[in-house]
Each structure stands twice: as C-alpha cells, then as structure tokens.
C-alpha cells in the first residue's frame, strides 16, 4: 500500500515525497524523529528561518522550517529537498556539503543523527568549533537506530545534554554548547590496498573506509579477466577502490568516478591524486544520483558494487535503479561488472536489461556478474 504523503507539522501541513520513490511508494518521506525536532523547535519559539538543519533525509525539516541552510553529505537528500520545496511552493534552501563547514554561531541546530557513528562524531566536532557558547543543538533519531553512545558524544563535543522522554519510537536530545575548546575533528581513516598499490583514505561517511569490503575484493579478483576499455565508469565509487585498481591494472586510460555522497567523491579524488599524481587528467568525478545526469561518452565498461540498503533496511531497489542507468549509458557491446550480496537477486533485472549475463565468481557471501549489452 502506498504511504501517506501529507506530513502534519506545527509549521503547517506539507506534501512530501521521497527521492527516489517507486510507484505506490510504501515508505514515508519523514519519520517520528523529524516530527520530534519540529515540535521541540516550535515549542521553544525558535525563529525557523535561522535553523541550521543537518542530515535531513527527504526535506521534511527544511520544508517545514524554510530553514537557513541544510548541511548534508547526500545528493539524493538534496534532490528530495528540491522536489519537495517546489511541490510545496517554498523558497530555495541553501545547501552546504558535508565536506565544507557551515556557518553556525548562535543559531539553533536541528540534527538527524546519522547511521555512521564516526560521521556523527565528525559533525559534532566541527559544529563544536563553530557554535558559540549558549547555542542550542537539538538531535533526534529513531530508537532502533540510536547508538548507546549518543549522549556521551553530545556531552563530549557540545556540552550539557538532556535525553528527553522517548515518543513514537523516536528520541530527542538537547545540548547547549559550553565554553570548552572544541575537541579535534577525527582524522580520515585509511588502509593499505594491494590492488591499488598504496593507502586508500576516506572521510567518515564513506562505505568500508577502514578495510576492503568482501564484495569489492571478489570483484577485484575478476579484473584480469575483463578485457580493456576506453571509457570506464566506477559507479557508486565510495573511496574509488574499484576504478583505481582497474586503472593500475591498465584496464582503461581514464576513469569516471560517480557517487551520491560528497565525502565519497572527495575521498576518491584525494586517492586518485595521491596514488597517481601524474595522471590528473585521466580522472573525472561526479556527485549525483548515479548516472541520471551523466553527460560523458557512453561507457564500454562499468564497475559497480551497488548500495544494498534503503535507509536502514537491506533492499535491492537502490541497486536495481543503478542497473537501469547502466543499461542506458553502455555502448553496444559494453559490459557491466557487478558484485552483489547473495541474498539480493539481481539476475532477473540483469536478464531483462542486458543481452547476455554470465556469472564470473561466487563465494560464501557475494556473486560477481558480467552483463553485456548487445
């Protein structure tokens, strides 16, 4: 059954859609944690236009508040926000990417606690250096996703923190910035990767930032079996491990890296410059919803370890969309090499979209597919 789209908030009622969303989308574009934040801001009579919103998923907070700015890592969240602002006749809300520092000062902050704890800590450390003493930070999350360390981290970085009563399976925390100096922002993680011949660094919201993912490892083992390519895309690139390994193996003279996460694209950029300092012109980077806005040449090889979560649940919808985009952007005869968790059955989608599909490898957890356009 399709989820409701009318979000009722203390600031008015708004029609909100997710991005991406399916026909009869079963998931809401907001959650109880968003509503707790809006109710808390409203009851404190905060000027909504002064609020800095952090990690709004589909725009519920920014649309209702007509907020001062959104600080986010996610291009999908920004696409959702733009669509929902337009749909509700609201003015544009400026976006500050996670890789930049937002202006803060005395303004209130409304923060949805992110899934990745190191990213939460990174955001708190940076906010602590920007907020003036006395500024309020409200944070909220759904009970089932909250780490037991939330209060400890808020107190460590921001200041005295109150854990409010849980409501509708969500929880609100309020912190007041005190006058201690800000703790240092955590350094990027890194690990040595044989396939790229060096260290791979990654900012805190990047997938598998401190070790090689098992699926990526199985795909990397298949690189020698893939013929050379002229235009190679590393789709959903994370720290860039697949594209950089393919480049080092001499599979292609150039690589295009694409991810929806600002931190992923920034990390892939840093890694390409660090590992191949003389080859800057060989690498192109794009942040966005997969290949939806890709305007480069049709590819003859795409490497992809697709996302397997839709928010917090394992779901193949996010990956299937990327496969559809691949079919559109591969030239005739072009190949997609894809690694997937065994429990996500991409085979029917691959067979529908591509003329030939072969299984290249399989281990206990993953399968690597090679799909070819006719």
Ligand X SMILES: C[S@@+](CC[C@H](N)C(=O)[O-])C[C@H]1O[C@@H](n2cnc3c(N)ncnc32)[C@H](O)[C@@H]1O
262 close to 75: Cβ distance less than 8 angstroms: yes
Q: Closest distance between ligand X and the C-beta of residue 340, in Å?
A: 10
Q: Closest distance between ligand X and the C-beta of residue 38, in Å?
A: 27
Asked if 34 interacts with ligand X (CB under 6 A), we say no
- C-beta of 66 vs 190, nearer to ligand X: 190
* Straight-line distance from the first to the last Cα atom of the chain, in angstroms, rounded to the nearest whole number: 37
Distances (CA, A) of 123 to 180, 181, 303, 360: 17, 15, 31, 40
Q: Closest distance between ligand X and the C-beta of residue 275, in Å?
A: 15
List strand residue ranges (DSSP E) for 46-160, in order. 52-54, 69-72, 95-97, 109-112, 136-142
265 close to 253: Cβ distance less than 8 angstroms: no
Nearest to 202 by CA among 266, 106, 151: 266
When binding is defined by CB under 6 A, the residue of 53, 150, 202, 242 that contacts ligand X is 242
Number of residues that bind ligand X (CB under 6 A): 20
Q: Residue 130 is encoded by which pair of tokens?
A: 């920007």
Q: Closest distance between ligand X and the C-beta of residue 300, in Å?
A: 19
Name the residue with the smallest CB distance to ligand X.
Answer: 238
Site for ligand X, residues 70 to 99, rule: CB under 6 A = 76
Contact pattern for ligand X over residues 252 through 281, marking x by CB under 6 A = ------xxxx--x-----------------
Q: Closest distance between ligand X and the C-beta of residue 64, in Å?
A: 25
- C-beta of 127 vs 212, nearer to ligand X: 212
Nearest to 178 by CA among 160, 194, 164, 166: 160
Asked if 236 interacts with ligand X (CB under 6 A), we say yes
- C-beta of 150 vs 258, nearer to ligand X: 258
288 close to 231: Cβ distance less than 8 angstroms: no
When binding is defined by CB under 6 A, the residue of 109, 237, 350, 370 that contacts ligand X is 237
Site for ligand X, residues 169 to 208, rule: CB under 6 A = 207-208
Phi/psi at 352 (nearest 5 deg)? Answer: -70, -35
Site for ligand X, residues 324 to 363, rule: CB under 6 A = none
Distance CA 92, CA 27 (A): 25
CB neighbour class for 246 (10 Å; exposed up to 12, middle 13-18, buried from 19): buried
Q: Closest distance between ligand X and the C-beta of residue 207, in Å?
A: 4
Site for ligand X, residues 98 to 157, rule: CB under 6 A = none
- CB 225: neighbour CB atoms within 10 A? 11
Asked if 289 interacts with ligand X (CB under 6 A), we say yes
Using CB under 6 A, list all residues that contact ligand X: 76, 207-208, 213, 216, 236-238, 241-242, 258-261, 264, 289-290, 305, 307, 318
């Amino acid at each position: 059954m399709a989820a409701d789209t009318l979000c009722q908030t203390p600031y008015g009622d708004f029609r909100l859609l997710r991005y991406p969303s399916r026909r009869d989308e079963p998931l809401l574009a907001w959650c109880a944690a968003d509503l707790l934040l809006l109710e808390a801001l409203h009851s404190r009579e905060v000027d909504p236009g002064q609020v800095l919103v952090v990690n709004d998923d589909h725009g519920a907070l920014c649309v209702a508040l007509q907020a001062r700015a959104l600080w986010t890592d996610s291009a999908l969240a920004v696409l959702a926000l733009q669509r929902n602002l337009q749909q509700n006749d609201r003015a544009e809300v400026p976006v500050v990417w996670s890789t930049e520092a937002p202006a803060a000062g005395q303004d209130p902050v409304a923060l949805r606690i992110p899934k990745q704890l190191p990213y939460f800590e990174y955001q708190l450390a940076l906010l602590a250096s920007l907020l003036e003493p006395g500024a309020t930070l409200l944070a909220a999350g759904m009970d089932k996703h909250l780490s037991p360390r939330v209060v400890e981290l808020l107190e460590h970085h921001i200041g005295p923190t109150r854990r409010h009563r849980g409501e509708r399976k969500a929880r609100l925390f309020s912190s007041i910035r005190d006058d201690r100096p800000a703790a240092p922002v955590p350094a990027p993680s890194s690990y040595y990767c044989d396939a790229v011949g060096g260290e791979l660094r990654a900012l805190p919201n990047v997938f598998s930032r401190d070790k090689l993912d098992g699926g990526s490892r199985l795909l990397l083992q298949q690189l020698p079996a893939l013929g050379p390519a002229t235009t190679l895309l590393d789709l959903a690139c994370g720290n860039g491990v697949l594209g950089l390994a393919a480049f080092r193996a001499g599979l292609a003279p150039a690589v295009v890296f694409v991810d929806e996460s600002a931190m992923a694209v920034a990390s892939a950029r840093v890694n390409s410059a660090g590992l191949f300092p003389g080859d800057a012109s060989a690498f192109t980077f794009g942040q966005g919803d997969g290949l939806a806005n890709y305007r480069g040449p049709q590819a003859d090889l795409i490497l992809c370890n697709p996302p397997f979560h839709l928010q917090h649940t394992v779901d193949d919808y996010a990956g299937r969309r990327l496969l559809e985009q691949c079919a559109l952007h591969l030239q005739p005869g072009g190949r997609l090499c894809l690694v997937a968790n065994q429990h996500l059955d991409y085979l029917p989608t691959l067979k529908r979209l591509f003329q030939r599909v072969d299984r290249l490898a399989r281990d206990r957890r993953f399968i690597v597919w090679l799909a070819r356009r006719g």
